[in-house]
Structure 1
């Protein structure tokens, strides 16, 4: 993907970060790291917090292209991508449809089911759900998630019927749409995709047993195994599964797919992230580094996705 472009070929690049979603803090950190990398590479780049002036403020900056580092909410659900297309401003990563689908865990799973890709069964929850019936259908433990939220915000593992309603209420603090999903006991993997490349898989190990927001962004005890420990043939199977899962929703440019592997060795697709984090704890930079690509090179290759590369 790296076509050896000169920094000036990108024109004026605006890194969009911040916003007002629950993932604002992570977005600010990602955006600052990306902006610093672009400056080191001699790119004419500026940062812009979308919460400060909205699209009007962005237009006044007259960007030639936008590097999206806006996690959650409008940054990942296709809203921003659609606005940028109307403004005819090229941007990094997936387009409107893939962004909207990737942000909606349930509709992503529906597509995967239609393509016969393995993903755990799920049920939509509401205030008046039959909690006992949900537990009987999915089994215990099960996992409760906001449908449109990222960074594991609002997620709870439930191991008894009595805890299910409170888990629903916690998830509903983040999103009006909440789902329960069959819990897969086993190892968690994440696979990063960059253009037509499948980057090395990472096995995530959390001493607490739950890869939550604290473990993902703040804990120094979370272990990221690279290499992931799978035999090469099995890692290839995992990589191809994730490539297909990303392609099914129309993903392009770059992204990340999260997967569980059960005790029988079967892989189960969990979700897609179309604007992954780029912090010092983030997984895409770790995977790229293991493949021999430093952070600056990774940022430049992602920027190339705005060029139709």
Structure 2
């Protein structure tokens, strides 16, 4: 976007998910960066009821939202969770003919489903926690006889650690699966992985080169999880770069690139791992990670010399260049 200072950027926040408020924070941060770049921000918000709202809070019919988007050069969705990150907003923008920052439908849908991501990672030789899946519906059961406690129980399509529980005894699995269903289905039951939580981010720049952020370690007490409160109240302890060995560093970087390419990601995606005594284990993939100035991804790139505004600029330039390539091919 360096050559088009009159560009209009639609920043989409909110969404119909339990990450609505988180998305609003990401959208606000992206909007501030767009303004700092000297570009025009066109804020659009999706309410928790699914209604579109313009920058003044007025309700827009779906066709009205399309009209606003069509008058913009690029859309920057900052939607997290279902009905957004899962490919829904990418499909909407594709059908509306609006270029956008972020992954396409396929990558969003695959990355959002932790069970499917696990199957893909396993096929690529990337280790994941041993797990079982409880199907959709109250009556759907799960067999854990091949798994060893303690267990991590979570919705397969959840985010922001919503509905994530640690269960230490097999007897507590059925009840906890029922609790997790309230946050989404199907539900995963995984063996607890004892290791250091280390994340990394990847995006493809305007020249087609993959740019990786620094590794980042999350300080989590042994036996615990990185929960929603820690993620958003400022109490999380991040160490950048992660103080891990060269072998684990190389394994994480290789696995992240392999998954980014295999899933077909665009924009920036975050890959979460555990560094264990036996090697690196994939936790999950996030194709629409949190994007406030204090979020993990911006911190990773800041450690490589790319500040927050520079990161937003690079993502916009990549989307612009991708749109240009596609217009030539049509």
Q: Normalising to structure 1: TM-score of the pair?
A: 0.92
1:215 paired to 2:230? yes
The alignment yields a C-alpha RMSD, in angstroms, of: 1.8
Residue deviations 1:92-140 (CA, integer Å, cap 9, x gap): 1111100110111111111122222211222111544666x41x31110
| Aligned match of 2:281 | 268
Query: 2:98 aligns to what?
Result: 89
Which of 289, 294, 302 does residue 302 from structure 2 map onto? 289
Gaps (5+ residues) in structure 2?
A: 53-60, 205-209, 323-330
Q: Please, which runs of 5 or more residues in structure 1 have no aligned partner?
A: none
In the alignment, which of 178, 195, 218 is matched to residue 187 of structure 2? 178
In structure 1, how many angstroms separate the alpha carbons of the residues matched to 2:27 and 2:14?
Answer: 8
Q: How far has the Cα of 1:145 moved from its partner?
A: 1.1
**Any conservation in 1 of the 2:248–2:280 contact (CA below 8 Å)?**
no
| Distance across 2 between alignment mates of 1:107 and 1:233 | 27
* CA distance in structure 1 between the aligned counterparts of 2:310 and 2:255, rounded to whole angstroms: 26
1:47 is matched with which residue?
43
The residue that corresponds to 2:29 in the other structure is: 33
Matched, 1:21 2:34: no
SS at structure 2 position matched to 1:73: coil
Match of 2:83 in 1: 74
In 1, the alpha carbon distance for the partners of 2:90 and 2:16 equals: 16
Worse-matched range after superposition: 172-181 or 22-31: 172-181
| Closer, same or farther: CA 233–116 of 1 in aligned 2, 3 Å | closer
Identify the residue that residue 113 of structure 2 maps to in structure 1.
104
Change over 3 Å in CA distance of 1:170–1:7 after alignment to 2: farther
Q: CA 1:59/1:109 → structure 2, altered by over 3 Å: closer, same or farther? A: same
> In the superposition, relative to structure 1, how do residues 162 and 281 fare at CA in structure 2: closer, same or farther (>3 Å)?
farther
Deviation at 1:188, TM superposition (A): 0.6
Change in CA separation of 1:176 and 1:231 when aligned onto 2, cut-off 3 Å: closer
Q: Which residue of 2 aligns with 1:235?
A: 249
Q: Encode CA deviations 1:208-227: one digit per residue, 9 max, x unaligned.
A: 7320111111142x211112
Task: Say whether the 8 Å CA contact 1:206–1:215 is kept in structure 2.
Answer: no
After TM superposition, the structure 1 stretch with the greater mean CA deviation from structure 2, 208-217 or 171-180, is 208-217
Distance 1:236 1:283 in 2: 19
- The 8 Å contact of residues 7 and 41 in structure 1, kept in 2 or not, is answered as no
**Farther-moved stretch of structure 1 (49-58 vs 68-77):** 49-58
1:233, distance to aligned residue in structure 2 (A): 4.6
Q: Are residues 24 and 56 of structure 1, via their aligned partners in 2, closer, same or farther at CA, if it must alter by over 3 Å?
A: same
Go from structure 1 to structure 2 and tell me whether the alpha carbon gap of 1:113 and 1:231 turns closer, same or farther (over 3 Å shift). closer
Shift of 1:46: 1.5
Separation of aligned partners in 2, 1:171 and 1:31:
28
In the alignment, structure 1 residue 299 sits paired with structure 2 residue 306 = no
User: Deviation string for 1:3-47 (max 9, x for gaps)?
Assistant: x723426x2210000112100010000000100110011011111
- Number of the residue aligned with 1:58: 65
Query: Hey, what does 1:115 align to over in structure 2?
Result: 124
Q: Please tell me whether the aligned partners of residues 154 and 165 of structure 2 are also in contact (alpha carbons under 8 angstroms).
A: yes
Does the CA-based 8 Å contact 1:108-1:271 persist in structure 2?
Answer: yes
- Aligned mates of 1:64, 1:77 — CA distance in 2: 23
Residue 224 of structure 1 is matched in structure 2 by 238
CA contact (8 A) 2:151 2:189 kept: yes
Name the SS for the 1:238 alignment partner: helix
